[in-house]
Amino acid sequence: MSLQNDTFSRSNEAVFELAMRFAEPTVKSANETADSLRLMFMELTQVCLWGNSTDLSLLINMTEEQIRSLQSTGGDDLAATEQNILGNDLERLWNTVKSLRSKEGPRRIDFVLDNAGFELYCDCVYADFLIQSGLATEIRFHGKRYPWFVSDVTKKDWDWLPNNMVYGNLFPNASEVEMEALRRLGRRWKQYEQEGKWIYEQHPFWCTGHTYWDLHSEAPDLFLHLSKSDLVIFKGDLNHRKLTYDCAAPASTPFDVAIGPMASASGAPKVASLRTIKSDVVVGLGPNGDVTAKRLDEEEPGWKISGKYAVVLLSDGRPGEPVNFD
């Protein structure tokens, strides 16, 4: 746990910026408009997206200044970085989540987690907003039984985060106001677990060598479980690669084509991928995606591994249809 402890504690500026903004419960007012809710959703989706820039496995030798630059969560910074989202389904994603408000009964969103530490913290801030805004009533978080990579979220990491927010002493130089904001967040998240609004799960499939094209056939129980979700959000580069079979494909390849059965199988849920690009597989960039990829290959030869660029992609799936394993 020492690596996670060190990297999370070195994220203090971004941790407290978010804690100070979101520690107080959101109070729904008569003046709240759909546009204000949309803007908050857009901002926090990007916070969740770019939290993946701080992959613990890549940060061991980075300076605190470099980490702060990656973790900046200010609105102006996010507006500037949105131009680096090469495949951008943010508006479609908002429309999908917004539509849940009118749904009768439970509104469930699943997160297939990636990295522990600061990224998991951003995921939880995002999930907190989804609960408080009424966009979701239940969040299920899917971690791993053991780390596929050193930074992957496990049950120990999941428990460690709120416990250290509430009881820990990772930030000895923080003010009492900052620490109380962090403690409030941690207490609320622990309460969500007690109330069954947040549920952590770890299916053995996530630690197999199978791509997610095989999920339908190799883990039918998990596919059936995910099919009951209103939206499944896959975080990070490894999950994206497994979604797309880790295959070379033209950048213009539509996301729902690239993820195969996770989009086309009967009962497939709506699937979103929030991914900062750190490997060669790039799809979903639209009709001009091949041109964009060629230009970046010429202008920025390392763009596929730099983490500078990202995608937010959405598949509508085939929700509501009976799941068929024949």
In sequence order, the 6+-apart residues with CB closer than 8 A to the CB of 246 are 211, 281
Closest by Cα among 121, 15, 14 to 69:
14
List C-alpha distances in Å: 161 to 48, 77, 117, 127: 16, 26, 7, 14
All structural domains of the chain = 2-315 (3.40.50.10880)
As a whole number of angstroms, the distance between CA 56 and CA 10 comes to 11
Give the strand pairing for 138-142 and 231-235.
unpaired
Is 146's pLDDT higher than 70? yes
How far apart CA 124 and CA 97 sit, in angstroms, is 17
Query: Cα separation of 214 and 303, whole Å?
Result: 29
| pLDDT of the residue at 202 | 98
This prediction has a pTM of: 0.92
Taking only the tens place, the pLDDT of each residue in 276-312 is: 999 999 999 999 999 999 999 999 999 999 999 999 9
Residue 128 burial class via C-beta count within 10 angstroms: exposed 0-12, middle 13-18, buried 19 and up:
buried
DSSP characters over 150-202? TTB--HHHHHHHHHHHHH--S-TTS-HHHHHHHHHHHHHHHHHHHHTSEEEE-
More confident residue, 52 or 107: 107
Residues in CB range of 166: below 8 A, 6 or more apart? 183, 186, 187, 190
